[in-house]
Structure 1
Amino acid sequence: MLSAKLFDHLNKTIITIISLICTLPLLLVIMVSFTDEKAIQVNGYSFLPEKFSLDAYKLLFSGNSPLLQSYFISIVVTVIGTILAVTITFMAGYTLVAKHVKYRNGLAMFFFITMVFNTGLVPWYMMSTSLGLKNNIWALIIPSLIFNPFNLFLVRNFMKQIPDSLIEAAKMDGASDFYIAFRVFFPLCMPVLATITLFYGIAYWNNWFNAIMLVDKPDLYPLQYLLFKLNSEISMIQSMQGTGTAPTATLPNESVKMATAILTIGPIVLFYPFLQKYFVRGLLIGSVKE
């Protein structure tokens, strides 16, 4: 009994130490984002800023900065895209589990093949533009909407643990497939649905590729793409200063990069605790159950 308690306390101590170590990089990023650029150039990164500065955040939130508009676009795209993607994945998973679906195994093999082979960039771009997904909000949602096969099989494997007797009882009461899916399966699948919601949400929030390929209007730039462009422009100006072809003004290049990281990961860090209690259970059961 004593050895079990000692082992438990030892595990807690080790996990606490590892957790504290893992927070150090995030703490360093936060500190550097509030450090003066000249101090960074002279002293490098430091947990204690030599000179406190808000220049990076002032630049990002300046009056002419479209940061708030990009935040709004990213939030809209993430919310709408995640809801639609989770719904489609859930319905596809139910189709692959329902035994009365005649070719469900063939469909599963078809989806599995898409995990191995990719059509390439050119067909993807031609298909997107032919559907009118150019310079509109749907260009940031629909190209990434088709469910990830990994998430699909995660949901399907989770659904396999649901007893067939529930489906049979619902059908005896005259329930349709739509009713069974959303009134019987959906509540029982909350752990795995929360897991793929996190996956889809992070993917949509971090997606900048669709904006590069399909969006030319600045008012439709998502947050990730806008900050990518801003960092690129600052780096270009600094390189021009090095050659003497641009005015010599100290731009907060390094601190802006760190402030950018804080602004981009903030919503995801705040969103994760609400799904944490479902995450591990849904991931383990969905990936192991057969």
Structure 2
Amino acid sequence: MGGRRRFSVGVMLIYAALTLFSLACLLPILLTLAVSFSNEDSIVQHGYSLFPDGWSLDGYRTIFVNKAIIFRGYGISIIVTVAGTLLALVVTTLAAYPLSNPNVKYRNFLALYFFITMLFNGGLVPWYLMCIKLGLANNILSLIVPMLMFNAFNMFLVRNFMESLPSALRESAYIDGANDLRIVFQIYMPLCKPVLATVTLFYALAYWNDWFNAIMLVDDKALNPLQYILFQLRSNIQMLEMLPKGASNEYTMPAESAKMATVIITVGPIVFLYPYLQRYFTKGLIIGSVKG
């Protein structure tokens, strides 16, 4: 009797509320998927629907009309996202570590210096001129390096987490002869997995969704990332949709279904990345619940 789990009315209401909330979060994704497979005429007549009158692959056919360009864009985006995220994590961690060390002189001044970049920036023209002077034009680095310089918000997240770690870890490592680089990579980074997982997701989303750097710094079409290619494709579809239809042009451009197909294509890798990082979020919550 004592081992049986009793479900009270309150617990059942909590489960019901969580179930409804989960369905509410899942509904937009299912609607986007359904519209991406919908016939354009059905969308125009009845709007978005989970159960459209007509099904069609025209949206995906429009996007993959030139498969080589799309797959090449996928490759560029994957390379930029993986390399950029790893480099950004290293730069962010190396900047956060000295700011979390109370023995570092002027660390508060340096923290203020980084904080100012969250409030003010030099503007688009100085940013562009600096990138050109550094040789960040028409190469793969032009899609990676500009975003390394530098998201102060992510750095402060990592710094605050490092400050919560016992200072005895660093002091004992110094006594054993370890230098700061070894302490960062072999002691602090393994302990900072929860916050680094969060920052990884932030950086990966930023790199994966970036198309601005391609517009500003890349002229070579072979280096265009997926987001920029799909941005161009969507602009072309909207332009063709505005053209007047003649007797010989009865075809309806799949503007809405192609737009939703674009969403499905672009969010796929991030959807697969998030469950892998979820365990570190959970671990961070558990660690936080038993400290102190």
TM-score, normalization by structure 2: 0.91
Any idea what the Cα deviations from partners look like across 1:177-204, whole Å, max 9, x if unmatched?
Answer: 1111111111111111111000100111
Structure 2 residue 145 is matched with structure 1 residue 142: yes
Q: 2:107 aligns with which of 104, 107, 112?
A: 104
Larger deviation: 145-154 or 272-281? 272-281
Any idea what the Cα deviations from partners look like across 1:189-240, whole Å, max 9, x if unmatched?
Answer: 1111111000100111111111111112222111111111101001101112
Q: Distance in 2 between matches of 1:267 and 1:38?
A: 30
- Check whether the contact 2:84–2:145 (CA below 8 A) recurs between aligned residues: yes
- Aligned position for 1:269: 271
CA RMSD of aligned residues (A): 2.4
Q: Which amino acid aligns with 2:279?
A: K
Q: Distance in 1 between matches of 2:248 and 2:196?
A: 52
1:226-237 → structure 2 map (5 Å cutoff)? 226-237=229-240
- Check whether the contact 2:84–2:144 (CA below 8 A) recurs between aligned residues: yes
Flag structure 2 segments of 5+ consecutive residues without an equivalent. Answer: none
- Check whether the contact 2:39–2:56 (CA below 8 A) recurs between aligned residues: yes
Any idea what the Cα deviations from partners look like across 1:32-82, whole Å, max 9, x if unmatched?
Answer: 111111222222211112111111112222245511110111110000000
Please state how far the C-alpha of 1:118 moved relative to its aligned partner: 1.3
Q: Which amino acid aligns with 1:150?
A: F
Runs of 4+ in 1 over 6 A off after TM superposition: 1-4, 283-286
Structure 2 residue 51 is matched with structure 1 residue 48: yes
- Check whether the contact 2:101–2:163 (CA below 8 A) recurs between aligned residues: no
Q: Report how many residues are paired.
A: 286
- SS of the counterpart of 2:170? helix
- Aligned position for 1:260: 262
Structure 2 residue 105 is matched with structure 1 residue 93: no
Structure 2 residue 154 is matched with structure 1 residue 151: yes
Q: Which amino acid aligns with 1:103?
A: Y
- SS of the counterpart of 2:244? helix
Q: Distance in 2 between matches of 1:98 and 1:89?
A: 15
Q: Which amino acid aligns with 2:204?
A: G
Q: Distance in 1 between matches of 2:42 and 2:174?
A: 70
Q: Distance in 2 between matches of 1:200 and 1:30?
A: 26
Q: Which amino acid aligns with 1:123?
A: P
TM-score, normalization by structure 1: 0.92
Please state how far the C-alpha of 1:280 moved relative to its aligned partner: 6.0
Identity of aligned residues (%): 53
Structure 2 residue 75 is matched with structure 1 residue 72: yes
Q: Which amino acid aligns with 2:177?
A: G
Q: 2:174 aligns with which of 171, 176, 187?
A: 171
- Aligned position for 1:162: 165
- SS of the counterpart of 2:75? helix
| Change in CA separation of 1:173 and 1:127 when aligned onto 2, cut-off 3 Å | same
- Check whether the contact 2:31–2:50 (CA below 8 A) recurs between aligned residues: yes
Q: 1:209 aligns with which of 191, 209, 212?
A: 212
1:6-17 → structure 2 map (5 Å cutoff)? 6-17=9-20
- Aligned position for 1:251: 253
